[in-house]
Amino acid sequence: DVKVTQSSRYLVKRTGEKVFLECVQDMDHENMFWYRQDPGLGLRLIYFSYDVKMKEKGDIPEGYSVSREKKERFSLILESASTNQTSMYLCASSLTLTGQSGYTFGSGTRLTVV
């Protein structure tokens, strides 16, 4: 089974801190995604990556950056955390960009910025 592992389930950070959210997948998937999930808004795509060192902005990239130095790892970076970035963050991977093979999600990281 494909496994997507997010390094933390819960994080509490202070406003202005630099925050790293890590995601690792173990099935050699080309494509990885970062979403945030907020009540009533569903999942919104922040960034995705279709290959090592390749990244594309999603719908809400402002305030975020990403890093994909190795195929298995896709990191989401909050350069200067703000309270409006308090959310559930979900990482996903897929074999194909169009998701024909399905998506596999991590368990999520609930980030609170105080």
Partner 1 sequence: KNEVEQSPQNLTAQEGEFITINCSYSVGISALHWLQQHPGGGIVSLFMLSSGKKKHGRLIATINIQEKHSSLHITASHPRDSAVYICAVEGNYQLIWGAGTKLIIKP
Query: What is the rounded CA–CA span in Å between residue 32 and residue 75?
Result: 10
Q: State which of positions 86-105 bind partner 1 (CB under 8 A).
A: 88, 90, 92, 97-100, 102-105
Tell me: does residue 27 bind partner 1 (CB under 8 A).
no
DSSP secondary-structure letter at 16? T
Distance of CA 6 to the CA centre of its chain: 9
Q: How many residues bind partner 1 (CB under 8 A)?
A: 24
Tell me: does residue 106 bind partner 1 (CB under 8 A).
yes
Tell me: does residue 60 bind partner 1 (CB under 8 A).
no
Nearest alpha-carbon partner for 6 in 21, 28, 19, 16 = 21
Map tokens 């998937």 to a residue.
Answer: 29
User: What phi-psi label fits residue 40: left (phi over 0), alpha (psi between -120 and 50 degrees) or beta?
Assistant: left
Segment lying near partner 1 (by CB under 8 A), choices 12-20, 43-51, 67-75, 78-86: 43-51
Tell me: does residue 48 bind partner 1 (CB under 8 A).
yes
Tell me: does residue 44 bind partner 1 (CB under 8 A).
yes
Q: Which is nearer to partner 1, 83 or 100 (CB)?
A: 100
